Amino acid sequence: MTARPNRRRARGQRGFTMIELLMTMLILTIVMTGLAALQLTAVRQVTDSKRGSEALRLGQMVMERLTVLGYSNSLLGDSGGAWTPAQNADGQAMTNVKVNGLNNLTTGEINGPYTVTYMVEDRPGNRKVITVKVTWLDTQSGADPSQRYAVRSVTLVTQKAQ
């Protein structure tokens, strides 16, 4: 008769069993999956914030251009509630504008996500209300492809007196 090796731990024997190692790996896998999802959410939030900041800068630039114009300038005529495409320094409509730092704010680079429009309304008392709106498409996570994109916008409003 041959002796079988004892599978029990001897006193003072160190090390881990296979079950302990598998359980540790399972717990680590669950934790790492959660951290990866958290990282994706953080990246998405940073991108949304960046787009919002760029849209605000574009809107401020257009608003500043409009407010320095004279009260009777043709660009500040009542638009009758219609949105007018804003123009960059080169006279091009600011549709599909891309912003890459301050240098491109003056002319705006084409093939970007932003569209800049404005509306002027005449008000009693020789006042004009100037509204600038910057819109862009933002991607959203979701299973339904019809809800994959959402229109986001930043709106700035000011008044100009004669």
Residue range 31-50, pLDDT digits in tens: 999 999 999 888 888 888 88
In this structure, is residue 126 part of a structural domain? Answer: yes
Report the distance separating Cα 115 and Cα 75, nearest Å: 18
Asked whether the beta carbons of 114 and 99 are under 8 A apart, the reply is yes
In this structure, is residue 112 part of a structural domain? Answer: yes
pLDDT of residue 4: 62
pLDDT band at 158 (very low <50, low <70, confident <90, very high): very high
In this structure, is residue 12 part of a structural domain? Answer: no
Burial 108-137 (b: 16+ CB within 10 A, else e): beeebbbbbbbbbeeeeeeebebbbbbbbe
Strands (E), the chain: 84-85, 97-98, 109-110, 115-123, 127-139, 149-161
Query: How many folded domains does the chain comprise?
Result: 1
> Would you say residue 30 has pLDDT above 90?
yes
In this structure, is residue 35 part of a structural domain? Answer: yes
Q: Which of 21-25, 30-34, 66-70, 142-146 has the lowest mean pLDDT?
A: 142-146
In this structure, is residue 95 part of a structural domain? Answer: yes
Please tell me the pTM assigned to this model. Answer: 0.68
User: Residue 97 carries which side chain, given as an amino acid letter?
Assistant: V
In this structure, is residue 142 part of a structural domain? Answer: yes
Burial 74-83 (b: 16+ CB within 10 A, else e): eebeebeeee
Name the residue with tokens 């041959």. 2
Report the distance separating Cα 137 and Cα 151, nearest Å: 5
Report the distance separating Cα 78 and Cα 147, nearest Å: 36
Summarize pLDDT for 81-132 with one digit per residue, the tens.
888 888 777 777 777 776 654 434 444 455 678 888 999 999 998 899 999 9
In this structure, is residue 3 part of a structural domain? Answer: no
In this structure, is residue 103 part of a structural domain? Answer: yes
Asked whether the beta carbons of 60 and 156 are under 8 A apart, the reply is yes
> Looking at residues 141-159, what average pLDDT do you find?
79
pLDDT of residue 81: 80
Considering only residues 15 and 106, tell me which one the structure prediction assigns the higher pLDDT. 15
Task: Quote the DSSP letter at residue 38.
Answer: H
> Would you say residue 149 has pLDDT above 60?
yes
Structural domain harbouring 118:
18-161
pLDDT of residue 145: 67
